[in-house]
Chains A and B, each alone.
Chain A
Amino acid sequence: MTITAITLRNDHARGQGPDMWVQEAIFGHRYVEEQKAFMLVLEVLAIARVMQVDDRGKPHEDLRVFQHHRDGDGHENFGIPLVRARALRYMLFKDSSLEQIQKNKDIPSDQRLKAWVSKLNEGYKASVKSDPISFDYLIDRFGDRFDDIAQAIRILRGLELDSINKRRWTSRFLAPRGPNLHFSDTDEGFKSDRRFFGRGGEMIYLMLSRSARAEDLGRVLSKQFFTHPDPLDRIAQKLVPPGPADIAGDAPIGYLPLSTHPSYDRMAEDWHAILTLEELPIPQKVEPLFRVTALNLIRYFSERSHEVTGRENIDPMPLDVTFGAKADLRSLSKSYLGRLRQMIDEATETYIRKTLEDKPSWRQALTHADPNARQKLARNTIKESFSFKKADDLAPGGDAERMLDEFVAIAKSRSRNNISTLIEPLGKAAGFIDARQRIGSWFSASDEMLEALVLARVRTPKTITDFLADLYGRYRIVIGPREARLEFKTAPCDISSFEENLRMFEKRLTGLGYVKRLSDDCAFVSNPYCMAKS
């Protein structure tokens, strides 16, 4: 039974933040470039954490993750508290006095902890102007065991993700191995400025929540991330202040237009597949998860764009796995990446024009006798239809058409929530876009991305042929000659390039340990974390 998607009413966030409401209506509010692929997953987990885990750090009995109620065309309406974890984050990422005290021979060992706590209290007060907190609990808890705490801090700091990029201390994250290790991205006053958690995770959370697998997925996710005992989470637990977890605030969830979509289900299935890999320890799941999330998100953008512009055939993703060695394949792949960006821009324009076409006030703006009235009508219609704050600056003295054209141009070149500029950074971080100077960017696949695909899509061993057919059917990924023939009516480049691509694909998967070739016609891809016991 196919359920028809309905566009949900947006009652909540409209007009509050963004400079206009265009891409938001098509794809959702919203996605930002600064939110790297791995942060998307972290944001989803942070939301799940505050839903499912109570104040004392225990998961609720009933399942709450991805279980949100909706009526008719109404949008989900729930708030998301922030995981502030102020004390822990300050100790891990901001404080610099730990090492100083460790090295300082003058402080007697039984005084070190006290000395450090005192520095923590001072330092915190100086850094975070509001709501001072006290670290005295550490003394109550640990007496003079300074070395033990120093060891614990060192171990936890070692869990930092993407530690190369030194972001502000309230935007640094740990491997999300347990309830005490999830942090929400905030500004240094612990308010949400959505610089890194730019709601992209909220979008994905909603997608998963609206998918057919929501309940299964919610259960599996809760069990693995919130109930599974983890030694590193235990360590963190010992360092946080007594009392309820440091969670506050209640910002309403963002807006995702369609009630249902095949890409939601696809994303949920991939999440489910990775999370249920029994032989892969939970912390090892985060990386393949974020890569597959980014891929699914790009497919969503692509499909939505096609829907809005009214195109039937969704563009394929020719994937060059030869690291750019095959120039014609690389070129083809590059052009499809360009097309994706164009398609998104086109969707933006189509949406604007179609929306206005339906408005009586716009028709009036085009046909009214009085030019002043026409201008005013045009401006107001645009302002109202798209919550465009700067409508009054549009094409001074120009007519409706000029204003429309200018508005379309502005919408396409937005700096925030401009999906077409998001594609490349997202793809690069996830490993399916490669870029090189003087050549440009194109769809490719890093080793980690290939691994993520195997982990998500292979259960019992399958032939490479079947694997490629699955990737094509599911993501429109074209790698080998067979899919190339299916996809392209006329060959876009020599078929031998696709054959070489296929050979490289097998070679790379073999090098990674996922493929075993038995003879001329017989090579199997298998998932080592899912050994069917025969």
Chain B
Amino acid sequence: MGVATMISLVPELKRALFGWFYPYRYNLERWAYALQRISGIAVAGYFLAHVVETGNLVGGLGVWSVPPADFSRDAWTATFRFLDNPLFDAGLIVIGFMLAYHAANGIRLTLTEFGFLQGRPTRPDFPYVPKSFTKAQRALFWLSLLFAVGAAVYALNVFFGV
């Protein structure tokens, strides 16, 4: 695929992405889906940063053999001092919310992927209300959200000691 073709795709990709943030006539399942995608991207971004951050534990990108322990200690302490501020702590609270939601809602998605909690197949009748998002699944979705709020409150307490 040429670069020109790639660039010509940008408007399409943009429209597809922004659809998640433009909740026009969403039902509950669509909310669960959008939040799963957004939280997944957020946690993936955190993971990338976390691998880079913990790389400083041994001294950073340039270190490919075992350095003196003091060198590593200084590199890690400097990294920790840099990251230990209210802005990053607030970010971690958001990541905690996202991670907890993604983990709990992921269990619901795994269950449905393997055929659980789907309900019995029935004839589609007017007004065609979707029946696949069963009561049990709704309950799990709300529990996921509750779990995420709990994780955020826990993180708030850890980082800001409320």
A-B interaction: no
Chain A interface residues (CB < 8 Å from chain B): none
Chain B interface residues (CB < 8 Å from chain A): none
